[in-house]
Amino acid sequence: MMEQVELRMRHTLTILAVLLVVATTAAGQRRGPRGSGPGGELSPPLAKTEVEKRILAVLNDAVKAGELYANVPASDGRMLRLLAETVNARSVVEIGTSTGLSGLWFCLALEKTGGRLTTFEIDPGRAATAMAHFKKAGVDRLVTLVQGDAHQTIARLKDPIDIVFVDADKEGYVDYLNKLLPLVRPGGLIIAHNIDSAPDYLTAVTTNPDLETVLPAQAGNGMAVTLKKR
């Protein structure tokens, strides 16, 4: 008798487990691969101009060729482009270029806004790969790449900034914030990637009354978007 009950329970549990797997897989298929390819979880971005087409092709090729190092997923890249175009960014500063993928996403916006990207990278190999990507995409004229330790090299920045994107050494986020916030124009944004690994930074941007911070739910890799209030 006990054996029969146990058998029935095991049978029921197996059915429940199968149903769970089917439901999870179906949901995953509806969403598509998260953050992969040039589109992220949505359908791929549609190029409106030849310039957009070329930048998206370079992004696509870089992913296919594996010319990557800790780059933002496409879903976050699309968000960066959208934010930059929305605030009509003329000056974007990026800490942590890597192989240039987030920079290319920004360039999709900067092409339209007439803006420029200044991006900082400590690793010479990644800096060279990024520059090659910018050249291939025809956007190198929009980009200044500064190689070296950004904690020191950002001292050269003097002009107002519309967007700061922080995506380098996580323990350095607060230092980058303290050094660059005075240059961010009122109404400008400070965007930080992988904030789950930078709790001090999150505290800093959420305890300053000059700032308003949101964590977009759709962001692939924990992004904090902070407005410098007017």
Ligand X SMILES: C[S@@+](CC[C@H](N)C(=O)[O-])C[C@H]1O[C@@H](n2cnc3c(N)ncnc32)[C@H](O)[C@@H]1O
- Of these, 79, 87, 101, 204, which contacts ligand X (CB under 6 A)? 101
* Amino acid sitting at position 57: A
User: Which C-beta is closer to ligand X: that of 128 or that of 211?
Assistant: 128
CB of 153 to ligand X, least distance (A): 7
- The residue sitting closest to ligand X, measured at its beta carbon, is 96
**Contacts by 43-52 with C-beta closer than 8 Å and gap 24+?**
45/78, 49/111, 51/111, 51/138, 52/108, 52/111
CB of 187 to ligand X, least distance (A): 23
What does the CA dihedral 90, 96, 99, 102 come to, rounded to 10 degrees? -40
User: Which C-beta is closer to ligand X: that of 151 or that of 185?
Assistant: 151
User: Which C-beta is closer to ligand X: that of 1 or that of 155?
Assistant: 155
- Of these, 54, 60, 69, 185, which contacts ligand X (CB under 6 A)? 69
CB of 195 to ligand X, least distance (A): 12
Q: In sequence order, which residues have a C-beta less than 8 Å from that of residue 26 and are 6 or more positions away?
A: none
Identify which range of 7-15, 70-78, 131-139, 206-214 contacts ligand X by CB under 6 A: 70-78
- Of these, 78, 83, 89, 102, which contacts ligand X (CB under 6 A)? 102
Applying the rule CB under 6 A, the residues between 119 and 178 that interact with ligand X are 120-123, 126, 149-151, 167-169, 172
The length of the chain, given as a count of residues: 230
- Of these, 75, 91, 98, 118, which contacts ligand X (CB under 6 A)? 98
In terms of DSSP H, where are the helices of 32-153?
50-65, 74-86, 101-113, 124-136, 150-153
How far is Cα 28 from Cα 179, in angstroms, rounded to an integer?
A: 41
Collapsed DSSP state (helix, strand, coil) of residue 173: helix
| Joined tokens for residue 139 | 């956007």
How far is Cα 212 from Cα 162, in angstroms, rounded to an integer?
A: 15
User: Which C-beta is closer to ligand X: that of 101 or that of 184?
Assistant: 101
Identify which range of 28-36, 117-125, 184-192, 217-225 contacts ligand X by CB under 6 A: 117-125
- Of these, 55, 59, 62, 72, which contacts ligand X (CB under 6 A)? 72
DSSP letter assigned to residue 156? G
Positions touching ligand X (CB under 6 A) are 69-72, 96, 98, 101-102, 120-123, 126, 149-151, 167-169, 172
